[in-house]
Amino acid sequence: MSELREEVRDTYAKAALTILDMGGGCCGPEVACCGEDECFGVAEYDAAMLAEVPTAAGLASLGCGNPIAVAELREGETVLDLGSGGGIDVILSARRVGPTGKAYGLDMTDEMLDLARRNAAEAGIDNVEFLKGLIEEVPLPDGTVDVIISNCVINLSTEKPRVFDEMFRVLRAGGRLGISDVVAADELTPEQRAERGNFVGCIAGAMSFAEFERELTRAGFMQIEVESTHEIADRMYGAIVRAVKP
């Protein structure tokens, strides 16, 4: 495991333990947040959505958007959430795909997996499965899922091309992406992105709009959309990403 990956794991383990042990939120003094000046998390979820999940699932949300609003989930579909954290998006997905569908959550952090499983049980959701693993090595067979969602996680990978290849591999033909992530303006160099925030803070590792589109195209995706929703830092944006596997 790379030094940066271990730093990410430790940060999110600490966030999960804070919630499990102290009931804290994501921006407590002992937990680093995505973003330097604001707390990413539940701001993109409306009150009705938050009412569908346990309080701890909302507190554990460290994302930059709302992939449920992007993915347009349907009854009976199989969904995979990359970097599922405390399980908010898995629980919301499971409710939308219904008893004939299934929602997988993938995370590399034992503490977050423990929290997510507890949250799913509290929510009374049983069409879910949380898997331990890396988003660069998804522990599912080829062509397993209909939809992949993710919330501010791809930017944290140190091997992004492998993430795109794995997404393409595990999707069925006609499967789609509904992703929220941090994306940089095309003119910003990697060094300039790092000046705006650190790697664990979801800024330094962000891809540009052009880089995101290029990687999706290289992996084989079509109908690609990468659109900004709001500015997080100077020329760094929360964005929604859609694409389809032909």
pTM assigned to the model: 0.89
Quote the pLDDT of residue 40: 56
pLDDT > 60? residue 181: yes
**Into how many domains does the chain fold?**
1
Confidence of residue 27 (pLDDT cuts 50, 70, 90): very low
pLDDT tens, residue by residue, 96-152: 999 999 999 999 999 999 999 999 999 999 999 999 999 999 999 999 999 999 999
Q: What does the pLDDT look like over 42-82, one tens digit per residue?
A: 667 888 888 899 887 877 777 788 999 899 999 999 999 99
pLDDT level of residue 201 (50, 70, 90 thresholds)? confident
What CATH number is given to the structural domain containing 193?
A: 3.40.50.150
Report the percentage of the chain scoring pLDDT > 90: 67
Does the pLDDT at position 1 exceed 70? no
pLDDT for the residue numbered 23: 52
Opening angle at CA 48, ends 47 and 54, nearest 5? 85
Query: Which residues constitute the domain of residue 84?
Result: 3-244
Q: Is the dihedral of CA 142, 145, 149, 150 positive or negative?
A: negative
